[in-house]
Structure 1
Amino acid sequence: MTNRTEEVLQIYGSAIEKNLFEEALINYDLAIQKNPENSNNFNCKAKTLDEMNRFEEAFKNYDQPIQKNPGYSYYYYKKGRVKYIINLKLLLCREDEQIRIGITKLRFRDFEKSRKFTIFSWQRLREALNYYDLAIQKNPENPNSYNGKANILAKMNRLEEALNNYDLAIQKDPENSSHFNGKAITLHKMNRFKEALINHNAAIIIIQHPPPNNQARQDCQELPLEILLSSFNC
């Protein structure tokens, strides 16, 4: 009975949350109608779509604030991040499909589909990388753009370049554990285990003993990608 009650409450809570998001979208549309030159209204709408896991729509909506305020690096960072999530979603769904049909039983045409999908995914990674490059050009002091770029480069197996960008992120913001964690994972892939352990420990220290000025960052208070990806239905 308790489990059923918790399940009902969870469903009810999700419904309320969904309605709140839908209501927010309506209000942002009204705000855009009243003031179509305010880039932040478009940004808030895109961010809401992002939080609803409607990533394709969010990606398209980030074009609007970029057009209205092309000098603001944060919009490029957000668009690049959404592009990265979309690509990961596609990769995960494709992997699930291959598991279902059995990789060992793939016929030649299935192999061709897989090869074409890999090329397509690679192109999307390059697109995401371009958005991070734009964000860095607009604001070279934003550490999160370097961290995002490093994540993409690591996904593309360009590990040395990824390390360089993690180092830049750490230089800009040495109090962010995610920069050290990303660097540690990359070093581990390169079999540089001692260095990986040092960076992993640095990330743990920051998490366990956060600096006093480590308050919520306005520009990038994001859910971890693994939490976002856990909601995908293929």
Structure 2
Amino acid sequence: MADEAKAKGNAAFSSGNYTDAIKHFSDAISLSPSNHVLFSNRSAAFASLGKFSDALSDAQKTVELKPDWAKGYSRLGAAYSGLHNYSEAIAAYKKGLEIDPNNDALKSGLSDAQAAMSRESRPSSSPFGDAFSGPEMWAKLTADPSTRGFLQQPDFIKMMQDIQKNPSNLNLYLKDQRVMQALGVLLNIKMMPGNGGGPSDMEVQSEEPIREREVKRPEPKAEPVPEPAPEPMVEEEDDEVKEKKEKKRLAQKEKEAGNAAYKKKEFEEAITHYSKAMELDDEDISFLTNRAAVYLEMGKYDECIKDCDNAVERGRELRSDYKMIARALTRKGTALAKMAKTSKDYEPAIEAYQKALTEHRNPDTLKKLNEAEKAKKDLEQQEYFDPNIADQEREKGNEYFKEQKYPEAVKHYTEAIKRNPNDPKAYSNRAASYTKLGAMPEALKDAEKCIELDPSFVKGYTRKGAVQFFMKEYDKALETYQEGLKLDPNNPELLDGVRRCVGQINKASRGDLTPDELKERQAKAMHDPEIQTILTDPVMRQVLMDFQENPKAAQDHMKNPMVMHKIQKLISAGIVQVK
């Protein structure tokens, strides 16, 4: 249930619905209050809504539950930064880097916190500098639909990082409409269409009609207008952008050629194209993940894993789409799973799949995770399988059973079952021990497993019948004993079991039960599904009514073997009494 709530929270977070994400993570926490990942996820959701006090509380709980988990300190640092407590944020990021020195998220957070602290210590050189400070800037841009898409554009990310480091650099990007749109979101103002895209094109949102605003719009305030950069530099920048766009275009062509070669199973050619695409454009990790897929098909698992690791690392730097990072982690998990030869080998594959699912809840990845966990469990069982040790453990259990040390006997029979889960004798012996301990449900389960493994093993029927007899289910016990007699008609234990069951059933038929015995048997019968079915059967209800009101009709009913069998069940259960 906790995993289901967590999955719903991850899905809501991924779609930007942070309020619902908090609700689902809270539900998961109530079911699993010691799970540090749940507190970490809720901290991120609170931070995305700007509720940094709540984010801090959850981050502190995360670190408390898992002090050696680097990501917890990343959450802690982000919460402190959101509260403008940069000294504590820096300390948190540094603590996390002591645990994971190569963690890019911690490095980036530390750099942002240090830059923010430096800005606080000196006057801002831009009237809008504060809007770009701290991690809340990214949260606001992610939450607003008009700017969310810009975060997938590396040049926009680079401009925003440049402004964060030095707010006065905002003047360099005022002609970029994306930057102006971002500024409007950060300052909670609406951008008006304009040519220059400068500060004079901003207006605070109001309910006043647009036409009226245009008429009544006041003259722009006299603010320092940044001087345009020298013309040669503008031309050089344009040339650089054009060259970059051309390289990206060529890179996409190489990727398409690689895809075509991959479909034709021309793997070496596909690798050549993807490698060329990476040389032209190192800001698209899909080239790496595609090449990793080729290596996976070729069985070059080490190369595949290396490309996946590089894709994740580079993707973190570029703030790439979380789905792309999840894809790289899934491919890494698949390569590791294919390399696995022992149960231990599956552990890094399972870890990679789990990390992928934290990035994106993909059904295919979840299926691969379940398959890897099952394969690990099956291998563990195979590695532990040893019939010789199983026999030794079963003999130890027999010795303890003879000494009436039943808990110790159960322990050794259990080990015997782990070593050889296909041995019916171990289940039979453990059923006998459970019976002696009064653990009837466990004893019944073992007896049934014994019969399932070997339907011809007579001892299984004597065990099961004995358990049912002790549970006062005499009809069921009689049926079990009779099944066993089909295999061994002269078995003394089975014959004695039949005799004892018939005696108890006839005791009810003769009305020899004490009032307490009758009351107990009736109460037990009312919880028996078979008895409930008989009592709710319209035909049987008419039969019972005839027994009271029409004896002749009742005698006719008793000629039907099926009706007779059901009546006998009710008599045995104490529901029907014969006078």
TM-score for both structures, normalised by structure 2: 0.19
Higher relative contact order, structure no. (Cα contacts within 8 Å, ≥ 6 residues apart) = 1
- Structure number with larger C-alpha Rg: 2
Q: TM-score, normalised by structure 1?
A: 0.45
